[in-house]
Amino acid sequence: MNQSKSILMFVLLLMITPLYSTEIQLAIDEYQPPFSFVDEKTGLVDGIQTQIVSHIFNEIGEDLKIYPLPWKRVLLMGETGKMGIVGIYKNTERLLVYDYTEPIFYVNIYAYALKTSLWDFSKMTDLRDRSVGIISAWSYGDEFDRAREMGEIAVEVNDSDELNFQKLKLGRIDCLLAVEQSGDSILQTLNLENTIARQAQPLISHPVYMVFNKDSNKKELISKIDNYLIQIKEDGIYDQLVNRISKDFYSKLNQ
């Protein structure tokens, strides 16, 4: 009788307790080409950062699942500790919430404007007295974020770079901020290369990271990721990997 009760209790525990999984779950922006996007043909998440992270986890022997989500939901998954995040910048506020890996990528953020109204641009204060299109829930670095909060820069917040480019084309904003590769890709996709150009100097140069909520206790995993990244950056494999992935992406784009 006691043995039957024990078996029944064991079965009930199996039913109410989720199976333990070592799979690492990461959230990434669902539309930030060429870094992350959902391939229309396959329905799978793809992009430069996606492939870099997949390569890293394959090499360090960790199971991985990447979920493409709207950026606001990506941040929610990270803030609640449900998933890690790929493709995030570092700022003072986020350092209180997340543990960061070594940089997985480096980006330059540029101001884009109509070719008929380009201006000399070299520093943040050059954005004053201009309406600037940015993406909702993005951080553009501490200096820009502080200037925005103090009202020194007038911003128009939209859900995507593509919407910002459309508004710029119509003259509804003076300029927009976008990562070089993403901005140039959209210019080509929307056939705006003869209408809009990026400024000669980048506004911000940013390292991009993977992060995990501090409460998720992923420091051991972060150490494995960091050790591998440091190794391949030192021996030149990282540059070869990024160049190959980038070349493959742009060759597909031009097919």
Q: What Cα–Cα distance (Å) separates residue 145 from each residue in 5, 167, 183?
A: 61, 22, 20
The yes-or-no verdict on residue 34 having pLDDT over 50 is yes
pLDDT top residue among 156 and 34: 156
Task: Tell me which of 3.40.50.720, 3.50.50.100, 3.30.70.270, 3.40.190.10 is the CATH number of domain 20-106+206-253.
Answer: 3.40.190.10
Position 138 scores a pLDDT of 84
- pLDDT tens-digit series, residues 40-61: 888 889 988 999 999 999 999 9
Note whether 20-106+206-253 and 108-205 share their fold.
yes
Residue whose C-alpha is closest to residue 144's, from 187, 180, 92, 186 = 92
pLDDT top residue among 231 and 204: 231
The yes-or-no verdict on residue 248 having pLDDT over 80 is no
The pLDDT-based confidence of 139 (bands split at 50, 70, 90) is confident
Position 255 scores a pLDDT of 56
The yes-or-no verdict on residue 84 having pLDDT over 50 is yes
The yes-or-no verdict on residue 16 having pLDDT over 60 is no
Residue whose C-alpha is closest to residue 113's, from 183, 48, 44 = 183
Domain ranges of the chain: 20-106+206-253, 108-205
Asked if omega into 207 is within 30° of 0 (cis), the reply is no
Position 110 scores a pLDDT of 92
CATH code 3.40.190.10 for 108-205:
yes
